[in-house]
Structure 1
């Protein structure tokens, strides 16, 4: 079990190196290396685009989107003029693709975003977009292979928490989670613990008033995942 500081991304002492510069929890790292080996045998070069993300990094992303300095897109990939939206609508537009600081599954060291490095040139800039994983996209074959492995419970414990659109976070086929650990961690950070986390930060959380006005509903819609997400 992780501490609240580890669950909210403020303490990374539970992590070990994995796949170069990336870091995961020790069991998740070992399982990912096994999945990499399986993928290699199938002709894929399973690589990590993003693994652990600290609270501070998530807050930088969040605040940047809230103030219009970072791009926000709709489900079709078109840019959204967030500053033209009322604050509450801006909040939901951001949450569709970005987690509230302190709630990201990437804080835990169990979740990561992946791609097939063998399917693109070395200088390819991975975008983590629906087009990349759609039929005909560069990473479609990898994900069809992962579909088969997950259906057979042969994916070394990794499944997709955002496989389907449940009205909260948009589907992310590239986001894998090490279920033996992450399913035990879900829901362990309360609304009160999050507010205390934000209080301790040296930088204010953008849209905090709007967040706190809806916080229980936001946690249910954008943080909780479907009960059967890992089979």
Structure 2
């Protein structure tokens, strides 16, 4: 992977399998195999979000920092950003939204999944309770726990490790993602952020080592 691919600045490593749903070209086949296996077991396994560009992630990050999008805490309650120092605001955002350039979605190896047939007409919120016992996605959650590893997928954010909040819907294709984790380093990310900086870019730059450790390089 080139630095531009790793950081979502270009997407020539991506194949689109549906409108706005892109995967790394080497992930398409294992994804389709897992999707078929889920179908055989009665699940309509679908992708909510696949590849996400740097610009898209930048828009999300900046909008949350500037108060245009809500920021939630670990209990899914709104955060009062005005009462936080800048560094605390950044970490509050990173709980659910990756730093532009450091999102695993840039790689095309990571996807958010659900089963629309389990929603009974309700809107998906992508919140942990939906995948917990009693939630609409609980049966799919159990299926993923039992089967996703057979197709070389795993869940890097299955439990809280001090960085990203639990995301049971987030799958990562291990054979590629582990390699890309190693390739994404401070130098690659710094050069990317210099081209298109985030808000509070001077504080973000100081936090890069901890951001990589806490929010990206967490292979389980």
TM-score of the superposed pair, with normalisation by structure 1 = 0.91
Gapped regions of structure 2 (runs ≥ 5): none
Give the SS at the match of 1:225.
coil
Tell me how far apart the structure 2 counterparts of residues 213 and 72 of structure 1 sit (CA, whole Å): 22
Gapped regions of structure 1 (runs ≥ 5): none
**Greater mean alpha carbon deviation, residues 33-42 or residues 213-222:** 213-222
Q: Which residue of 2 aligns with 1:164?
A: 159
Q: 2:212 aligns with which of 206, 209, 219?
A: 219
**8 Å Cα contact 1:67/1:83 also seen in 2:** no
1:179 and 2:177 aligned: no
Tell me how far apart the structure 2 counterparts of residues 19 and 40 of structure 1 sit (CA, whole Å): 18
**8 Å Cα contact 1:110/1:182 also seen in 2:** yes
The alignment covers a number of residue pairs equal to 220
Q: 1:199 aligns with which of 194, 198, 210?
A: 194
Tell me how far apart the structure 1 counterparts of residues 18 and 172 of structure 2 sit (CA, whole Å): 16
Deviation at 1:190, TM superposition (A): 2.0
* Superposition pairs of residues 54-133 of structure 1, within 5 angstroms: 54-121=53-120, 124-133=122-131
Deviation at 1:19, TM superposition (A): 4.3
Tell me how far apart the structure 1 counterparts of residues 57 and 103 of structure 2 sit (CA, whole Å): 8
Moved over 6 A (4+): none
Tell me how far apart the structure 1 counterparts of residues 191 and 81 of structure 2 sit (CA, whole Å): 27
**8 Å Cα contact 1:68/1:83 also seen in 2:** no
Give the SS at the match of 1:52.
coil
Q: 1:144 aligns with which of 130, 133, 142?
A: 142
1:27/1:119 CA distance change after superposition, 3 Å: same
1:84/1:196 CA distance change after superposition, 3 Å: same
Tell me how far apart the structure 1 counterparts of residues 14 and 139 of structure 2 sit (CA, whole Å): 30
Deviation at 1:218, TM superposition (A): 2.0
TM-score of the superposed pair, with normalisation by structure 2 = 0.95
